[in-house]
Chain A
Amino acid sequence: MTPILAVIVDIQELAYTVLASIVAATAVTIAVSLAIRGTARYVDHSQNGRVALAYGSLALAGICVLAALAMLGFGLYVMISD
């Protein structure tokens, strides 16, 4: 017997929405937060004269910015293609 709630609400659509929301928000937050952390660490390491660590942090920040931009582009593509 199908539960009444499953008839009124498309449970699959709801499950996809919940899952996609969590995955997208988590991925974007991690990318942006790591980019910010990388930038902050770059400033710290530069001031302390640790050149290698500074550039490593900057590279991490750059990669994360690119990842965040790619996710933004994907979001826009999804919006426009709908």
Chain B
Amino acid sequence: MDTHLILVIVVATALAFDFTNGFHDTANVVATSISTGAIAPKAAVAFAAILNFVGAFISIEVAATIASDVVDPSAIAGPEALNIVFAGLMGAIAWNLVTWYYGLPSSSSHALIGGIVGATIAAVGTGAVEAEGLVGKVLLPAIIAPILAFAVAALAITISYRIAGRQRPGPVARGYRLGQVVSGGLLALAHGTNDAQKTMGVITLALIADGALAPGSDPPFWVIVSAATAIALGTYSGGWRIIKTTGFRIIKMDPAQGFSAQGAGAAVIMASSHFGFPLSTTHVINGGVMGSGIAKRLSAVRWGVAGNIVTAWLVTLPAAAAIGALVYGLTLLFGGGTLGPVVISVASILALTVLFGLNRRAGTATATG
């Protein structure tokens, strides 16, 4: 009975993470299109939400491998496994909300990996962490992704300006805006495929740990549908604070730059997925935006904003790990059983309700004041 209750809480927390993932990463897909007026904001998030939902059904190849490259799955097996996964998810959700509040486009995948690593270290020590996997699959790609997208977007915008830069502005702007809608659609599909699978993987691992599924099973259909729905609803909710940062605050973007950033982003994400070298959508898109700005002139990029974003990327893994470890420690305070996750979940829901209420009241006061 106890483990079943924890399982229900872990599944609900995983879906809550999936929602924040969609909510947080909406900007990756729609920010540049909204910024250049390629598509209206509400239509953009609806379009992205639908394609995120569809994307989640495209593949389940990597659904069962999340976090297994960075922590030793056998070391976190047993009755403690669900508490570790719960603590890791809470770390990721908390960091996603903090970075959303400050409008910082950080990687949801890194937050999830950080949370799980932190909770694992708190539970069984550093021996369960696969240092080689952490460096090879997380840290180095985090450095490579923005640099590659930056270079590819800079090349793309240079080509765009050379070929179409001296033509009539009207047809040129309309053409690149149309290109942005298409490349944004591809990004949304890729995002749904990659990111919804992480939640499917976490829920599947929890079901296996609970004995509800045999080891090595694929995600059940209800898991695929619920993960797809959660990420689509999160995307539709729209993380407007991050959309403003990516779309408006890094550079002042024209349609050719928007197309170059998104086209380069789509090319890099799809190439990396195909060749099995996973890169963060967030890092790729923001690197692409900076690259499409710098090709115009160095001062076109607001380096202060770019610096804040890069700092957030550096801090994401340790911060989510620290929160994951703290939450795991809190579950131990309640005896390490079901009570801890129940109390922490209820307290988190209450805290979030109060914070969102205060945020809305502050917004209303600003609007009327």
Contacts and interface: CB of A to CB of B under 8 A. Distances in A.
Contacts of B19: none
Per CB-CB distance, the 5 closest pairs between chain A and chain B, nearest first, are A36-B175, A40-B167, A33-B163, A20-B271, A25-B267
A2 interface: no
A31 to B, nearest CB: 10
B140 A9 contact: yes
Contact of A32 (B132, B179, B276): B179
Given A10-B277, A30-B163, A82-B61, A21 B272 contact: yes
A79 B155 contact: no
A29 B271 contact: no
A53 interface: no
Contact of B268 (A21, A39, A82): A21
Secondary structure of the A contact surface, majority rule:
helix
Contacts of B279: 17
Contact of B271 (A7, A17, A39, A41): A17
Interface stretch (B93-101, B185-193, B238-246, B325-333): B185-193
Nearest to B171: A40
Contacts, number: 127
B232 interface: no
7 contacts: A8-B140, A17-B148, A25-B264, A25-B267, A30-B159, A40-B175, A82-B274
Number of chain B interface residues as a range: 35 or more
B40 interface: no
Interface of A: 5, 7-10, 13-14, 16-18, 20-22, 24-26, 28-30, 32-37, 39-41, 43-44, 68, 72, 75-76, 78-80, 82
A25 B168 contact: no
B171 A20 contact: no
A24 B175 contact: no
Contact of A37 (B163, B259, B260): B163
A44 B164 CA distance: 14
B192 to A, nearest CB: 11
Nearest to A27: B267
A78 B185 CA distance: 15
A36 B171 contact: yes
Nearest to A42: B171
B267 A24 contact: yes
B163 A40 contact: no
Contacts of A34: 163-164
Interface string B136-170: 10001000100010011101100110111001100
B225 interface: no
Interface string B321-358: 00000000000000000000000000000000000000
B23 interface: no
A39 B193 CA distance: 35
